[in-house]
């Protein structure tokens, strides 16, 4: 089907506001007489608060309140930004309190101050005297799970938050039928989101006695519920407003600040309180990407066909559960679509440690497991003397495949075309031949990795989204959403969808980007690459309903059957001839002011999705490795994606650029470091935490294989998270191609590479 606006690189609807500084972020709200909140953090990774004296802090001029665990509700709550589960057995683990008397990581919040300004608040923190009973810090899953280890949370034996898994077929029988058995271990690291805008919330009590929270979040409706749970008040007594957001990447799919901000305003009689974290605080007390260790055992036939695979995953979720086990199971479910095999067993363990809390981050478990599986397949291909592309081709999913565990169907799949395109772009065959038998100090290699991902969380989670469209008096429309724009461009895409259906230009669609739980339609938020797919369908339904109402109104005015009419270029036209009947603006005006038939046109719809769509893709990378120094340079990189119909090519390309850059950092340099004895962070700042800069990023090649996904609103499916997923294994496999040295642990920083090369005899 041909579209006139969908599929075009329409400029962002928020571009001018952002580049001119007019977009209003949480930090731009200056409430009258606003106070400042600050948090006192534990210097110990594991300790009991034996005594806390706040008298000196309270006596400091300018201090309005000092809070400890004694001054706030003791209700336990979950922080993960998931829809509420009616079945208690499926709820996120409730293990957090607003303030604690047991510190579980360096940086855990043990007290808080509200003062007239930041300097006074910081000085007051220094005056709080805390006596700790220091406990043994447990910094790895192995240490935490050992017999006799102290419990981080008393209700979790061996500090295992949860364990689960699945088995498709009979794995032992599959291994017996296999010609070869391969076993390996892989490990990923803890990394940080490093979004531009730090976490910040402003809370106050309004004239009706309700708590209002202005906050930088991906999940305003979920924040409302969790704040209510934390304070033990009806959820309707909380109002959450989400203004412009400066990035999240999953870090703001957790409720990190809002309950404490709410407690602070209640402690000062409802006066506005701003609680803003520094970058150093964000890096230890928001969320990180989980470090996960994998053991993989795979049975393979002589021709390279995968017969069976057994994966054991052990995740370091840090001091609190957050998204912990959900991430392990999400990764374990999405990767399995790519390579169906006779038997697959997956065992997953989420373990508490005394490190900062891990949570949602772009890819939600898929970057970790894809790294392990794609590196494992590369190693298998080398041992079988097979081209790694051909090994994958033998095992790829086909359209029509049904997931045997949840019934999801692969209705569109362009993975083979993605591989063909990427192979052509990087000149795979030519470079594979050219780079054989290198002996110099600088060596080049090429590598690739594939991925599969989903569009939302169904059937594991609820997928509901709302949209409201109002036809204005001049023929323009207002589009109001519960879905959150956090920088990814979703507002622009939704405007394109609306404009396409209503036959108007994008600049006649006014998107109300601020979400307000009092007035915005319900939507679970920005995560799981769901919004264009899930919320997009709600927008489509609303736009179609508005169009139907417009044409029905014209029928009542003119007697022309609605089915004979359409809307094009702001005019009501005959569907077949295109001849204009009347301007849309005239119809809109009459819906408001016609004496006999005035009836303003609106639509308020929702989409409760009961389907999912799988997206596929591949990264091809070329690297140059300096054998003497261990430095790895990414020379060339291509990401090729099947994300269905691309709604806005320029925005889509931008998503890929960001994901690839993040993937390069994940592969080569990013890692949170902690003292091995105390658990104290060693690099929780942007100087010591090595993010890739423009000097580390080559020109990124982007291509799309456009399939049509029948369950998507315009044939589209997910794109936001997928670009990061296959990058690290592709780079690692290119390093293997260049040097013959296999890295089963990331990041591949120069020190680690140098040591591995020395071990392999290259140096």
Which of 77-91, 184-198, 399-413, 694-708 shows the lowest mean pLDDT across its residues?
77-91
Q: Report whether 255 contacts 263 (CB < 8 A).
A: no
pLDDT at residue 89, rounded to an integer = 82
Strand, helix or coil at 299?
Answer: strand
For the stretch 31-48, pLDDT in tens is: 889 999 999 999 999 999
> Does residue 1 have a pLDDT over 80?
no
Alpha helices in 241-287 (DSSP H): 258-267, 279-285
Pair 663, 724: CB distance under 8 Å: yes
Q: What is the mean pLDDT of the chain?
A: 97
Strand pairing of 632-642 and 700-704? parallel
> Which residue, 401, 383, 311, is CA-closest to 349?
311
381 pLDDT more than 70: yes
- 251 vs 247: CA distance, rounded Å: 9
Size (the chain), residues: 763
**Alpha-carbon 458 to chain mean position:** 16
Q: Structure pTM?
A: 0.97
The pLDDT of 333-345, averaged and rounded, is: 98
**pLDDT (0 to 100) of residue 88:** 86
Helices of type H across 290-351: 324-334
Query: For 617-641, how does the pLDDT look when each residue is reduced to its tens digit (9 = 90+)?
Result: 999 999 999 999 999 999 999 999 9
Find the Cα–Cα–Cα–Cα dihedral 571, 572, 573, 574, rounded to 10°: 180
- Residue 625 has φ and ψ, to the nearest 5°, of -115, 125
Share of the chain above pLDDT 90, in %: 97
d(C-alpha 17, C-alpha 23), whole Å? 5
Q: What is the DSSP string of 182-200?
A: EEEEEE---EE---SSPPE
CA atoms within 13 A on the CB side of 102: 16
Average pLDDT value for residue range 467-478: 98
Q: How far apart are CA 130 and CA 56, in angstroms?
A: 12
pLDDT at 462 (0 to 100): 85
Q: Which residues contact 741 (CB under 8 A, 6 or more apart)?
A: 735, 756, 757, 760, 762
Query: Would you place residue 87 in the very low, low, confident or very high pLDDT band (cuts 50, 70, 90)?
Result: confident
Torsion of CA 292, 293, 295, 301, to 10 degrees: 50
Pick the CATH number of 31-135+194-285 from 1.10.10.10, 3.90.1170.50, 3.90.550.10, 3.40.50.10860: 3.90.1170.50
Placement of tokens 């690291």 in the chain? 189
Residue 162 pLDDT > 90, yes or no? yes
The H or E element spanning position 211 is strand 211-215
Stretch(es) of the chain classified as CATH 3.30.365.10: 15-22+464-608, 136-191+288-395, 408-456+613-763
> How many CB atoms are located within 10 Å of the residue 382 CB?
16
User: How far apart (Å, rounded) are the C-alpha atoms in residues 368 and 336?
Assistant: 13
| Structure tokens belonging to residue 464 | 């509901």
Distance between CA atoms of residues 651 and 197, nearest Å: 20
Phi, psi of 389, rounded to the nearest 5 degrees: -70, -45
Distance from the Cα of residue 512 to its chain's centroid: 23
**What letter would DSSP give residue 605?**
E
Beta-strand relationship, 306-318 and 343-352: parallel
What residues does CATH 3.90.1170.50 cover in the chain?
A: 31-135+194-285
The answer to whether domain 408-456+613-763 has CATH 3.30.365.10 is: yes
The neighbour count for residue 176, using CB atoms within 10 Å, is 12
**Contact status, residue 86 vs residue 225, Cβ threshold 8 Å:** no
Judge whether 277 and 257 are in contact, CB under 8 Å: yes
CATH number of 15-22+464-608: 3.30.365.10
Q: Which of 670, 674, 654 is nearest to 752 (CA)?
A: 670
CATH of domain 136-191+288-395: 3.30.365.10
Residues with Cβ within 8 Å of 89's Cβ and at least 6 positions away in sequence, in order, are none
Name the residue with tokens 């999405």: 334
User: Which burial class, exposed, middle or buried, applies to 574 when counting CB atoms under 10 A from its CB (0-12, 13-18, 19+)?
Assistant: middle
How many angstroms separate the CA atoms of 240 and 227, rounded?
Answer: 10
Q: In the predicted model, is pLDDT for residue 80 greater than 90?
A: yes
Total H helices, total E strands in the chain: 19, 29
């Amino acid at each position: 089907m041909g579209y006139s606006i969908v599929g075009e690189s329409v400029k962002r609807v928020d571009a001018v506001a952002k580049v001119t500084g007019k977009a209003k972020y949480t930090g731009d709200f200056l409430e009258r007489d606003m106070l400042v909140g600050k948090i006192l953090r534990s210097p110990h990774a594991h300790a009991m608060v034996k005594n806390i004296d706040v008298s000196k802090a309270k006596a400091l001029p300018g201090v309005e309140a000092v809070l400890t665990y004694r001054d706030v509700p003791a209700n336990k709550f979950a922080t993960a930004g998931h829809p509420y589960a009616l079945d208690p057995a499926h709820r996120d683990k409730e293990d957090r309190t607003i303030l604690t008397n047991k510190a579980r990581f360096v940086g855990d919040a043990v007290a808080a101050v509200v003062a007239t300004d930041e300097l006074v608040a910081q000085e007051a923190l220094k005056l709080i005297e805390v006596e700790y009973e220091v406990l043994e810090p447990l910094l790895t899953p192995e240490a935490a799970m050992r017999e006799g280890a102290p419990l981080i949370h008393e209700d979790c034996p061996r500090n295992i938050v949860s364990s689960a898994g699945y088995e498709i077929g009979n794995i032992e029988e599959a291994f017996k039928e296999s010609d070869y058995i391969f076993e390996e271990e892989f490990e990923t690291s803890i990394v940080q989101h490093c979004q531009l805008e730090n976490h910040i919330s402003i809370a106050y009590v309004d004239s009706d006695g309700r708590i209002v929270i202005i906050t930088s979040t991906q999940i305003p409706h979920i924040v409302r519920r969790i704040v209510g749970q934390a304070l033990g008040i009806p959820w309707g007594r909380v109002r959450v407003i989400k203004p412009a957001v400066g990035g999240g990447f999953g870090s703001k799919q957790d409720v990190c600040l809002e309950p404490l901000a709410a407690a602070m305003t209640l402690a000062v009689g409802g006066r506005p309180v701003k609680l803003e974290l520094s970058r150093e605080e964000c890096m230890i007390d928001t969320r990180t990407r989980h470090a996960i260790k994998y053991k993989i055992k795979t049975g393979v036939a002589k021709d390279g066909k995968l017969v069976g695979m057994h994966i054991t995953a052990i995740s370091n979720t840090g001091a609190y559960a957050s998204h912990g086990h959900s991430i392990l199971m999400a990764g374990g479910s999405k990767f399995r679509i790519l390579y169906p095999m006779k038997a697959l067993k997956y065992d997953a363990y989420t373990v508490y440690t005394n490190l900062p809390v891990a949570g949602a981050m772009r890819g939600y478990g898929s970057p970790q497991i894809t790294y392990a599986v794609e590196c494992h397949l590369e190693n298998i291909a080398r041992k079988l003397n097979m081209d790694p592309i051909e090994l994958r081709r033998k095992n790829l999913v086909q359209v029509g495949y049904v997931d045997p565990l949840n019934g999801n169907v692969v209705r569109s799949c362009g993975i083979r075309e993605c591989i063909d395109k990427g192979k052509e772009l990087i000149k795979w065959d030519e470079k594979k031949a050219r780079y054989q038998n290198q002996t110099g100090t600088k060596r080049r290699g090429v590598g690739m990795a594939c991925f599969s991902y989903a569009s939302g969380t169904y059937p594991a989670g609820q997928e509901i989204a709302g949209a409201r469209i109002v036809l204005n008096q001049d023929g323009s429309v207002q589009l109001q959403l519960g879905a959150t724009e956090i920088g990814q461009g979703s507002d622009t895409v939704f405007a394109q969808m609306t404009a396409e259906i209503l036959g108007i230009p994008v600049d006649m669609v006014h998107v109300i980007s601020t979400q307000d739980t009092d007035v915005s339609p319900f939507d679970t938020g920005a995560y799981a690459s769901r919004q264009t797919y899930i919320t997009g369908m709600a927008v489509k339904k609303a736009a179609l309903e508005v169009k139907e109402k417009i044409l029905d109104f014209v029928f009542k005015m003119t007697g022309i059957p609605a089915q004979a009419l359409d809307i094009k270029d702001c005019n009501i036209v005959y569907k077949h001839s295109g001849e204009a009947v009347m301007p849309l603006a005239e119809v809109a005006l009459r819906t408001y002011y016609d004496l006999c038939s005035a009836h303003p046109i609106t639509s308020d719809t929702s989409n409760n999705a009961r389907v999912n769509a799988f997206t596929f893709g591949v990264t091809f990378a070329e690297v140059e490795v300096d054998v003497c120094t261990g430095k790895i340079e990414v020379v060339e990189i291509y990401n090729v994606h099947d994300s269905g119909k691309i709604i806005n090519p320029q925005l889509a390309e931008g998503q890929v650029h960001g994901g690839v850059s993040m993937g390069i950092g994940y592969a080569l340099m990013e890692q949170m470091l902690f003292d091995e004895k105390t658990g104290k962070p060693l690099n929780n700042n942007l100087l010591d935490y090595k993010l890739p800069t423009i000097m580390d990023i080559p020109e990124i090649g982007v291509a799309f294989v456009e399939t049509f996904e029948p369950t998507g609103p315009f044939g589209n499916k997910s794109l936001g998270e997928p670009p990061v997923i296959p990058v690290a294994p592709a780079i690692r496999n290119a390093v293997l191609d260049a040097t013959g040295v296999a890295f089963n642990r990331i990041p591949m920083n120069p020190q680690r590479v140098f040591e591995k090369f020395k071990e392999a005899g290259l140096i």
